[in-house]
Amino acid sequence: MHIPNGNYIVIEGNIGAGKTSLSHLLAKDLNARLILEEFSDNPFLPLFYKNPDRYAFPVELFFMTERHKQLQSLLIKGSLFQQYIVSDYTFAKTLLFAGQNLEYEELRLFRKLFNTLNASFPKPGLLVYLHRSVEDLLSNIRKRGREYEKDISENYLQKIQNAYYNFFEIAKNEMSILFMDVKNLDFIHNENDYQIIVNEIQKEYSKGIHYWKSEQGVL
């Protein structure tokens, strides 16, 4: 497999979109270094879903510092044996989520810290965004059965969805973004569905937003 847009590929998506599962599959086929967000290590996350107003700032601060530490260790340092890097998040996600969860003064401080930390990271050669409807996201979240996710609301997922859209409009002049509607694609259990996604990722993309949807999908 060859990715013409470069050796750093990011798979993004809302909660429950399948980004981590797809990252695992791609990293295996590419013999790539795999960077996965260690969200389960955040001790404030279960508390945040129960009481977001109280725990928003500590949960976002913990995510930012842990993502920075992980990317500094795994992204900046190269590998002699692995040509590609596949990650299931971009550091910009840090500010994207914080913008939905923090109050004005908290966000102002958070943004200053983010801008300082973000300056050292390269932009991905290709960012693949997996789009699913909020209803499908909720269904996937229920299926995986994580206790701390059971209180995630439809409204919260829609806010995150909209924040991604706004981010892409800002970032489209700086990176190549492949927006994929994967409705009705089961790329985890269906090899043909997985190959559909692989075929699209192997195409070359200019900077900007490039939209793709399956024949069954509705964008």
DSSP class per residue in 8-71: EEEEEESTTSSHHHHHHHHHHHHT-EEE---GGG-TTHHHHHH-HHHHHHHHHHHHHHHHHHHH
Q: Where are the domains of the chain?
A: 8-213
Q: What residues contact residue 98 under an 8 Å CB cut-off, 6+ apart?
A: 60, 64, 107, 110, 111, 114
DSSP state of 142: H
Q: What is the chain's pLDDT, residue by residue, as a tens digit (219 residues)?
A: 888 888 999 999 999 999 999 999 999 999 999 999 887 678 998 898 889 889 999 999 999 999 999 998 888 776 556 789 999 999 999 999 999 999 999 999 999 999 999 988 888 999 999 999 999 999 999 988 888 788 889 999 999 999 999 999 999 999 999 999 999 899 999 999 999 999 999 999 999 999 998 765 433
Q: Are 67 and 8 in contact (CB under 8 A)?
A: no
Q: Are 140 and 16 in contact (CB under 8 A)?
A: yes
Task: Give pLDDT, residue 46.
Answer: 86
**Structural domain 8-213, CATH architecture:** 3-Layer(aba) Sandwich (3.40)
